[in-house]
Amino acid sequence: MSFLREHWELKLVALVIAIALWIYTNGQVRIVRPLLVRVTPAAVQSLPEDYRVATVEPAQFTVFVNLPEGMLHVLRSDLAVPRLVIAADSLGKGRQSFPITNRLLGLDEDFRIERVDPDGVKEITVAFDRVDQDEVPVEIPQLLGVPEGIEAAIALSRTRVKVRGAHTLLQSAREHGQRILFKPIALGDIDKALATMREERLELTPLETGIEVMEPVVATVTLRPAEGGKQVVSLPVQIMAPRDVLGRFQFEISQAQVALTIRGPLNVLRTLHPETDLGAYVTLRASVEPGVAQELPVTLVAHDGLTADPATVRVTATLR
């Protein structure tokens, strides 16, 4: 027993230190911290290039982690991203499940997962499939921002496009007659008083469906004023005649104001200001007989695309 008495002071100090460390490590305060786990296809690793992730379930859940308070600094955020490494022997099965563990979530060994919300979630399941190609019809997108009174037509550069995606996804699309959908076309500032045809060309953006569109689709949007509108306006009538005729005669018009039915694009008519945008006149012939009334057609002065229904006024000339 002499070996116990040798250097007993050092042995006593070592024993005290060991007891203190044991008390510290087992008696330290532990806390529970929630961690949000988001699982995206980007977390899946080791898939061959000709494979794609089809589904990941669950896509999101919360783990409640019990950890020493002194290790709280180890958690850099309240978000955990798992590392899902696909094994080669799982490729033929098309799926692989991963039990929810510290290692999967990249947590320290001293952390303890107490529970998972929602209850019953014990593993993450990744389904994947071989990438395939196909040709799928496209759907004409919705057109937004067309002013009232403007007619719009859309023509696409392709009616079918080459696509790439998971084999099962493309197979389902074929069976259900699914088309490639695009984001709506939002037109910019369109002049409400557009009087002539206008074309806009733009490349369409496919909606996110898990199917990759491999070819660009360009839409040509043709805008033109909608026909069929009419508006009755009252205009003063001017006289046009040779200078010498105007100098020799003075004229009396049966109607100082003439009511004209103006026809043209709806959008142009809606923004029409007759007092500044329109004019009306009659043209006198060089041979004018004093006191003889002439029934003359009224001519409209207007923007392109506007016409007037036929109208006449009587003009009588008298010598000055």
The CATH number of the domain holding residue 253 is 2.170.120.30
Are residues 23 and 111 located together in one domain of the fold?
Answer: yes
Residue 69 structural domain: 2-130
The amino acid sitting at 268 is V
Are residues 160 and 262 located together in one domain of the fold?
Answer: no
- Predicted confidence at residue 17, as pLDDT, reads 74
- Structure-block tokens of residue 76: 């850099």
- Structure-block tokens of residue 254: 């049966």
| Domain CATH code at residue 162 | 2.170.120.40
Q: What percent of the chain has pLDDT over 70?
A: 90
Q: Identify the domain boundary among 225, 241, 273.
A: 225
Are residues 152 and 116 located together in one domain of the fold?
Answer: no
Q: What are the pLDDT digits (tens) for 112-122?
A: 999 999 988 99
Are residues 123 and 6 located together in one domain of the fold?
Answer: yes
Among the listed residues 88, 41, 40, the one whose alpha carbon sits nearest the alpha carbon of residue 60 = 40
Are residues 83 and 163 located together in one domain of the fold?
Answer: no
Q: What are the pLDDT digits (tens) for 272-293?
A: 888 888 999 999 876 788 888 8
Q: Identify the domain boundary among 130, 161, 193.
A: 130
**pLDDT exceeds 60 at position 25:** no
- Predicted confidence at residue 23, as pLDDT, reads 58
Kindly report the pTM of this predicted structure.
0.48
Are residues 23 and 86 located together in one domain of the fold?
Answer: yes
**pLDDT exceeds 70 at position 4:** no
What's the rounded mean pLDDT across residues 157-182?
A: 89
Are residues 208 and 157 located together in one domain of the fold?
Answer: yes
Are residues 8 and 125 located together in one domain of the fold?
Answer: yes
- Predicted confidence at residue 286, as pLDDT, reads 65
Are residues 153 and 207 located together in one domain of the fold?
Answer: yes
- Structure-block tokens of residue 236: 């003063």
Q: Identify the domain boundary among 225, 245, 266.
A: 225
Are residues 296 and 212 located together in one domain of the fold?
Answer: no
Reduce the secondary structure of the chain to three states and give it as a string: CHHHHCCHHHHHHHHHHHHHHHHHHHHCCEEEEEEEEECCHHHEECCCCCEEEEEEECCEEEEEEEEEHHHHHHCCCCEECCCEECCHHHCCCCEEEEECCHHHHCCCCCCEEEEEECCCCCEEEEEEEEEEEEEEEECCCCEECCCCCEEEEEEECCCEEEEEEEHHHHHHHHHCCCCECECCEECCCCCCCCCCCEEEEEECCECCCCCEECCCCEEEEEEEECCCEEEEEEEEEEEECCHHHHHHEEEEECCCEEEEEEEECHHHHHCCCHHHHCEEEEECCCCCCCCCEEEEECEEECCCCCEECCCEEEEEEEEC
